[in-house]
Structure 1
Amino acid sequence: MIDPLFLEGLIKILFVFVLISAALIISTRNLSSVLTTYTIQSFLLAAVSLLLYLMEGKGQLLLLAGLTLTSKVILIPYFISKIEEKIKIGRDLHFTYLEPTTSLLLSIGLILLSYVFLSRIFEDLSLSRLFFFGAVIGLSLTLMGMLVVFSRRKVITKALGYLSMENGVLMFGLFVTEIPFIIEVLIIIDLVILVMLTTILAVGMDSSIEEYRRKFRKIQIWAGGRSL
């Protein structure tokens, strides 16, 4: 039997690495590095779920770890790597509204804000420190992923920011929400993400939102002409 205190210590170490991965996704300009960081982040979440399974013995946690490995560590990164090969964009050099340094400083504020906010929300609940910190990391990761969506111009990078937000939802749900509900939501979200990535791969969303809209209008015009 593994000591629960030892497992709890490992989970707290993983919390630190999850935050580091979120900071790297915000600041890194190389798309391959962003994808690798997202894959590592997803693997860390799967490891957290596995360690929680070893602590609590709930089979749903083991199922969630397997689902995370399959979809977020293998399947979705494979789709994105294929998109990278097709659109041939190695770097996302342009930022909207927020530069990486500003985003990192704002991220620190968001982590502190999440801590204060959740400490007030959960002050009347008998929530252990581990589960409280897990909720804080989950909310912080969601907000940091939102910063990526807000600050990046390339649509493929925005998609990675959205996926990082989803990881934050997963982390928050691991420590606060019922596990069967999380699994159902993640399956639906992953299916939506895969459809979106397939659309990107088919249309060639190799630039900003504006560029994609221009390409999509051309497809609509072409489809309208064919229907006539």
Structure 2
Amino acid sequence: MIEPLFLEGVIKILFVFVLISAALIISTRSLASVLTTYTVQSFLLAAVSFLLYLMEGKSELLLLAGLTLASKVLLIPHFIKRIEEKIKISRDLNFTYLEPTTSLLLSIGLILLSYAFLSRVFEAFALSKLFFFGAVIGLSLTLMGMLVMFSRRKVITKALGYLSMENGVLMFGIFVTELPFILEILIIIDLIILVLLTSILAVGLDSSIEEYRKKIRRLQVWNGGEAL
């Protein structure tokens, strides 16, 4: 039997690596590196869920770890890799509004803000330090994912930011909300993401959000002409 204190220490170490992965997604320009970082981040999330299962023995945590591995470590990265191969773009050099250094500094502020906010919210609740820090990391990861969506120009990178944000929501849910509800939400979100990635793969996504909208409009006009 593994000591709970040892497992708790390992989970806290994984928290640090999760934050590092979020910072790399914000600052890295190589799409392949961003995808690899997201995959590692998802694997860390699955590992946290599995270690919590060893601590608490809840079968939902084991199911959540397996589902995360299947969807976020294997299936979704495979779809994104196919998109990268199709669009043949290896780097996202353009940033909107915020440069990587500014984004990283803002991320530190978001982590501190999350800590201060949740300290007040959970002041009346008897949460252990592990679960409190898990909630802080989850909220911070969500905000940092939103920052990626806000600062990046290429739509494929924005999609990875959204996926990272969804990882944050999942981590927050593991430590705060009821597990069956989180499992249902995770399945629904992953299905939506897979449909979105499939549509992106079909239309072709080699541009910014403005050019992507133009492609969609041209496709709609073409379909309208076909119907006529």
Category of TM-score, reference length = shorter chain? over 0.9
Q: CA deviation at 1:86?
A: 0.2
Corresponding position of 2:130: 130
| In 1: Cα distance, 2:33 partner to 2:217 partner | 32
Q: CA deviation at 1:206?
A: 1.1
Scaled by the length of structure 1, the TM-score of the pair is 1.00
Cα displacement string for residues 117-140 of structure 1 (whole angstroms, at most 9, x for unaligned residues):
000000110000000000000000
Corresponding position of 2:154: 154
Scaled by the length of structure 2, the TM-score of the pair is 1.00
| In 2: Cα distance, 1:128 partner to 1:217 partner | 52
Cα displacement string for residues 37-76 of structure 1 (whole angstroms, at most 9, x for unaligned residues):
0000000000000000000000000000000000000000
Structure 2 residue identity aligned to 1:115 = Y
Runs of 4 or more consecutive aligned structure 1 residues displaced over 2 Å after TM superposition: none
Corresponding position of 1:82: 82
Q: CA deviation at 1:115?
A: 0.2
| In 2: Cα distance, 1:108 partner to 1:189 partner | 28
Q: CA deviation at 1:112?
A: 0.2
1:168 aligns with 2:179: no
Alignment RMSD: 0.4
Cα displacement string for residues 174-216 of structure 1 (whole angstroms, at most 9, x for unaligned residues):
1001000000000000001001100110000111111111111
Q: How does 1:27-176 map to 2 (within 5 A)?
A: 27-176=27-176
| In 2: Cα distance, 1:220 partner to 1:129 partner | 52
Corresponding position of 1:180: 180
| In 1: Cα distance, 2:39 partner to 2:57 partner | 26
Q: CA deviation at 1:151?
A: 0.3
Structure 1 residue identity aligned to 2:129 = R
Q: How does 1:202-221 map to 2 (within 5 A)?
A: 202-221=202-221
How many equivalent residue pairs?
Answer: 228
Q: Which runs of 5+ in 2 are unaligned?
A: none
Corresponding position of 2:195: 195
Sequence identity, in percent? Answer: 83
| In 2: Cα distance, 1:96 partner to 1:220 partner | 28
Q: Which runs of 5+ in 1 are unaligned?
A: none
Q: CA deviation at 1:164?
A: 0.2
Corresponding position of 1:17: 17
Q: CA deviation at 1:218?
A: 1.0
| In 2: Cα distance, 1:203 partner to 1:136 partner | 38
| In 2: Cα distance, 1:204 partner to 1:145 partner | 23
| In 2: Cα distance, 1:205 partner to 1:215 partner | 9
| In 1: Cα distance, 2:72 partner to 2:91 partner | 22
Structure 2 residue identity aligned to 1:2 = I
